[in-house]
Structures are given as C-alpha cells and as structure tokens.
Structure 1
Amino acid sequence: MFKIGDYVRFIDEKREGYITKIIDDLTVGVTDTDGFEIPVAKSNLTYVHGHHSNADTANNAMPATQVDEKFVEDGIYLAVAEDNKASVVANFTLVNRTSYQLLLSLKTEKGGIYKGEFAGVVQPKSSVQVYTANLGDLDNWPNFTFQALFFTTGNVKPTTPLQLNKRFKSKDFSGAKNQIAEINKYGWLIRLDEPALVIDAQKLKESFFNVKEEKPKVAKPAQEIDLHIEKLRDDHHFLSQSEILNEQLSAFKKTLDAAIVHQMPSIVFIHGVGNGTLRDQIHKTISKHPQVRTFMDAKKEKFGYGATEVIFKV
C-alpha cells in the first residue's frame, strides 16, 4: 500500500520520485527529481528497493539491560525535517532522549477515519522515522495520537504511559530550524512529553482573597505649569545648564501626557524667555504631537513671550 514519502519508479517510463500526495484510492501524486508533482495511477508504480520507510523496519527486539551513568526520565521529541531529495516531503522522526525503551504507536484521524501509522519499539537514546507528509499541505494534515509505554530493566518506579493528541498548526513551524543531532539535519523539534502544568490550589485560593495593589494614578495637572528650575528642584544651584534643561523637558513631557490622560482642553507652560532653548524644544515637541491641535503664546499681557498655551484635539 503506497503512502506519502515512498520512493517509487514508473513502470512504463524511466522516471522515479517520491509520493507527495494521496489523490484518491487509485491515484497518487509523485514529485520527480525536477520538483514537479505528477498524478500517477498506483498500478503504474513500483517500489524502489532500499527506499522503504523506517516505519516498516522498526527494531522490535527487546534490548539487553541498559546501563546509564545517569538515568534520564524525560525527553521525547518529534523531529520534523524536509527530505534530502524532495523538500516538499516532511519526515517525522520520533527522538527518544530518555533511558527508557518505548513501546510506541502512532494513529491518525481525519474526517472520522482512523488509521494506524506506526507501531514499534524505540530504543533508549535513539530515533526512528514514524510518518511522512506533504509539508505544503499542512492544513489537510490529520490529527495525530501518540501513545507510549515506558520500559526499563533497571530499578526504576513505573511511570505513567504517554498519550498525546496533536493537531499541527503553521505556528509549530514558524520558528527557525535548528540542527537535530539524532537525524543530522536541520528541522523543527517538538517536545511530546512536556510536563503538565501543576496548579497550586492553596496559592490559587489565596490569590482570590489578596487585595491587588492599585496602580498609581496620574494626577491631574494645574492649568498653568511653571517650568522655571527653581520651581522644580530645590538643589538647582548644583546643576549644570544641560542638567537644568533635561529636568525642565522631563517635567514638561510628564505634564503634557498627564493633561492628555485627563482630557484637558488646554494647558499653559511657563518657560520664560531666557535664550529660547527651552521654548524651542517645547514648540518642536508639540508641533509634531498627534494630540495637539495648535499652540500659541499665552497671555502676553501677563507672560510676554515667556509662556505657551497648548490646545488639544477634542
């Protein structure tokens, strides 16, 4: 029975390739060495000797006692990598990094139809190919059910069997591919024995009764804000000119944001005349601000050119 990933030869012509799609009961898609997928009748195909799937030749023999310097309890992965000869073919390899011998089965389901894909023994610290699929046809992949029993001849307490139902999505393969030592290829490594999330019931209960700290609220600023340094810092005598300017601009930006948060229609910044540096910096900021409708000199009879009124958008 042909399946995706089988390497086949055409009976009536000199052409070989990988099966990359099951079209129907009688027809499959074969991608040849030029990368073209061709619909072919199954009756016109034959297997190429030496290219059968690893799933057909899995080692099911019971091993001798495994001796590890340190017994490894966890680390069962599924490596998904492109085939060397047909990049559209994705090979699924079960990677067992534990010290257990795994009695593994893989079953797929699509449209309510179940199919056994693999059954065999995966030795400790080894890997075996268990499935192949068309990487470009991910949306039509079936649901996967992985089941595994853990065995060791050592003095280790029996562990709970693994059962994982997995539906692959594009995000599973959105990250960068990494080198996978067991298969000597770059691919995606997906952990199958991820530890279950343990919820501490007591801490969960306590969280319901703990009063959450209120986030500090932004105080509403006054209608007129004096940015003269003596109004901002008592130790201004010890500040350099650049430090004074930075302190004034910081106070201006914080107050501007606070006015916007409180939806004030306008605010006045008293910056003084001086050499005009602070005034220019303020005007440069508010001229590009998306929440500022316009700005102007404020109350010339009171401040001259030493204050700016900022009008916000409604």
Structure 2
Amino acid sequence: MKYNVGSKVRFLNDVGGGVITRVKNEMVWVKTEDGFEMPSNKSELVVIEEATEAKSETKVLEFKVEPKFEKKNEESSFPDFNDSYIENKQKVFTISEIEHEFKNTYPSLFVAFVLKDEKNWNVSDFDLYLINDSNYEVFYNIITKYKTEYAQLENNIIEYDTKSFITTIKRSDLNDISEFIIQAIAYKKGIYTPQIPFENRIKIRPTKFFKQNSFLENDFFDEKAIVYQVGAGMEIKLDVDEIDREELKKIIEKKEFFQTQTKKESLLIEKKKEVSAIEEVDLHIEKIIPNYLGMSNAEMLITQISHFRTKLESAIFRNIKKIVFIHGIGNGTLKHELRKVLDEYYHDLKYQDASFKEYGYGATLIFINK
C-alpha cells in the first residue's frame, strides 16, 4: 500500500482520518479535519483514496487576507519540563544518538522551490518545501507578499531532519509574489541552549525562475530545485540576490551580519585535547560547496565567512594552537572581511600573513594558544 502526500487515510486504532502531508520512512504525518498534524505509523493507517495530480493541486496558493482567531485549548500541548528532564537524565544514549545530538550547533533551515514537471521546466509549477536539516525542532510561520498585501501561508512545527510540503505555487502567480518571510523559533525537549528567534526574507525575482540553470541538483530532492538557506545560526536580513559589495560592507560595519552572542555547547563525545599541529582550512567556495553555480558573489562571500567562523570556533574549543585559512589573493575582499571579523569579534587573537613560501599572499595564520 502506497502512502503518498495528498492521499486520504483513516486511523485503524482511532476515530477519524485526514490527508497525508509528509512521509519519512515508516512515519506518516496526517492533517485531520481539525487542522492538526498527527504523526502515525504506516501500520496504523489505511488509504481510502489515492492522491492524484488533480488532488495534489488542491493546496494551491490562495491569497485572501482574513484574520483568523482560533480558540486555544486550555491544556498546553508542550511537554512537561520535569518529565522531559527526567526522561533525558535516565536515558542511556548510543554513539549514533550522541553524534546526532551534536551534529549541528545552530538550527539550519532551507526553503526549496521544486519543479513539478522537470521535463517541461519552463511551464512547470513549483512545490514549496520547508527543510529542517538540524537536530532542533522548529516552530515556523511563513508569510507571503502578494501584490501589495501580506498573508499568512502556514504555521506549524517541523521536526528535526525532515522536510515539509507547504503549498504549490502556480507559475502564473510569480509576477504577483514579491517576497516570502520565514519566522522561526528553534527548540529542543528538555535541557538545551536557547536560540534567538530569527526572521529572514526571500525576495522573489521572477526572471530567476525562467532560467534553467537556476534549478540545481541538491541534497534534499531527486528533482532539481531552487534552494534558499534561511537559518544557520545567523540573522541575515538581506536579499543576497540584489546586494552589492558596498552594501554588504555597510551591513558588516553595522554589525547586522553576525549575531553578537557566541553559542557553545558542551560535547559528550570527547574531552578537549591539546593539538600541536597547524590546522589548515581552504575557504575557496568550490571546497565548501562543490555545486555553487547560480550563487551570487554576495551569497558566496556569506557562505565563506560563515564557514570561517564555524571552523575558527571549533579550533578554539579544541585548543588548536595555530590555524591557517586559505583565502587566495583575488581582489582581496574575502581576506579583508575575514580580518575585519577577527578585529571586531576575536580581538584577543593574533594573526599575520601565512608562510609566503607555501601560500604567497593568499592565506592568514591565526595564533589561538600561546
């Protein structure tokens, strides 16, 4: 029996049923008539109506701005703190569970526009997905601007390591949609390091959706898609498709590029170890993202600086004595921004040009521990 998004199902061990919104392995999420999304095992469901192309398009974008007031349940749906704490304290974790728990320090969210018909890409509509590629659960609210009005598209909770279908966007609506706003709060059950709620905006430029090379292979879908990163521990309130170098420079100077707080979580896997060797990190974009075609200069610079800070924080935590960042010569932009970050956020660290014999003028050596 196939369990596809859009299929109607009934519960075997309970009253009622609903429509499948997402599927992961043996778990199926069903949206009931009350509007709640309930996770269930496939063995607890029976399909009463298969999803069809026509059915899958029933959740097409509708822009009707009407305020909704829903009566909240008196009992909170959030887990009891003490119960979660006791459960986590008593649980014996496996190695794989520990590795998963600490695989991401920050919530990492993506928005993807997936072609419904890849063969006829130039006339195809798009499926909009939200992807949670982290070990945080995330409460999200998605808003769209249609013509001159803002309307809520969907709000819900997305579990870690999952992707959630949001809606189907008609190609004919692209000229009337100017932006999507994604607001999110990341959390974990029990004890965890709180994260700052963030909001990011995706400016929609219709011309991008009419270029075949805009749709790229990706890690989330078999089909090609346009994928935007909207959350990775940074609050980036800018349109990376339209920003130029001067605007980026001003934003960095105003401290809007990075959050000022540092986020460190204690690791359970290994203790800090003294390492005497010099660590080396290559910041060339092709070393960070092999498939970077279609990225603007600003997007590439943001990715490189983010990678630089992640590796530097890791080196500090692991007591690395020296670390070399290879940035190349180029026009000097990456080197300049890298050193600006060091001066502003890591002023206690000393740095200099790395060995000219090995790197020319294309690398910076940072001294972490004396």
TM-score, normalization: structure 2? Answer: 0.35
Look at both structures and tell me which one has the larger radius of gyration over its CA atoms.
Answer: 1
Q: Structure 1-normalised TM-score?
A: 0.41
